[in-house]
Amino acid sequence: MKILANDRISKKGIDILEKAGFDVHCVHVAPQQLENYINQNQIEVLLVRSATKVRKALIDNCPSLRIIGRGGIGMDNIDVAYARKKGLSVINTPGASSISVAELVFAHLFGATRFLHEANRNMPLEGDLHFNTLKKNYSGGRELRGKTLGIIGFGKIGKEVAKIAFGCGMHVIATPPEDDNASVTLSFHNGQHITLDVDIKDKEQVIAQSDYLSLHVPAQSRYLIDSKEIAMMKDGVGIVNTARGGVINESALLEGIESGKVAFAALDVFEKEPTPAISVLMNPKISLSPHIGGATLEAQDRIGIALANQVLASLKKA
């Protein structure tokens, strides 16, 4: 059986599949060539991340496909219902990258509240001549301890974010959880653990009461955060989006930053990805990263292993 890992898979995942006798193709095939590649090579399993789109036309025109696997939690790049209707197995790895995304949220929060994203831009340019000016400019940072973090989308990633927030001494509020479990368990290196409850509120309350907002929702058909929602927020709010582009109206966000309503934003995803708006990229109040939420070595290993094991499990069921 031939497997195409079109958006990479870790060596640990490859090893599991090859040990089971599969021929794994680890190449990236361009969208316009993907159909031909699958058919010419009789690919039966297609493994993707967020970059590759698996739509109805590809599913219809590639009769050899039996399994579509998505490394990660969101499957908005796959026509899941249609694929399953056609008899294909569709799998994903919803928990494998949660820790990585959560840690990136706090990388942005720590950096933005202490102006590190700005300082790292300006120190190489002006640090030798205007050191004291920069020191003055960036001396008004804020601590996270004691502040309220609002989480919109309280699933696997949202819960990992809550764990780190509790460890930082923050008050955590969140929208209703997906699994009706409003608590998180913090585990420590020495085997100790503690379970803490999260304050659950409706979306409007979370938006209005948070010092910082972190978004963890799937792709939306309309903006989740627009001018109306920004107007509801506290003055000086910070907003982090590691979820999906299009969740925030970037024009409204820029207006909020310009007015001072929004102190900063941190974006790992963008409306016009992979060509984000220049006005967003150049704004000094926005901390930026290129959609790397789940892109750690540890997460890649977990994703690869989880995908490989699910492929094997799916074939056993067939």
From the candidates 25, 117, 244, 302, which is the catalytic residue? 244
- Please report the beta strands in the chain, taking only residues with DSSP state E, as ranges in sequence order: 2-5, 23-25, 45-48, 67-70, 89-92, 148-152, 171-174, 183-187, 193-197, 199-200, 212-215, 237-241, 262-267, 286-288
Which one from 49, 117, 216, 291 is the annotated catalytic residue? Answer: 291
H or E element that contains 38:
helix 31-41
193 tagged catalytic: no
Question: Checking DSSP bridges between strand 148-152 and strand 212-215, what pairing results, if any?
Answer: parallel
Q: Is position 216 annotated as part of the catalytic site?
A: no
Is residue 39 within 8 Å of 62, Cβ to Cβ?
yes
CA dihedral (35, 37, 41, 42) in degrees, to 10, reads -10
Catalytic residue among 18, 103, 255, 273: 273
- Closest of 121, 151, 107 to residue 293, by C-alpha: 107
Q: Is 273 designated active site?
A: yes
What Cα–Cα distance (Å) separates residue 70 from each residue in 76, 174, 219, 248?
10, 27, 15, 24
Pairing of strands 183-187, 193-197: antiparallel
Residues known to be catalytic: 244, 273, 291
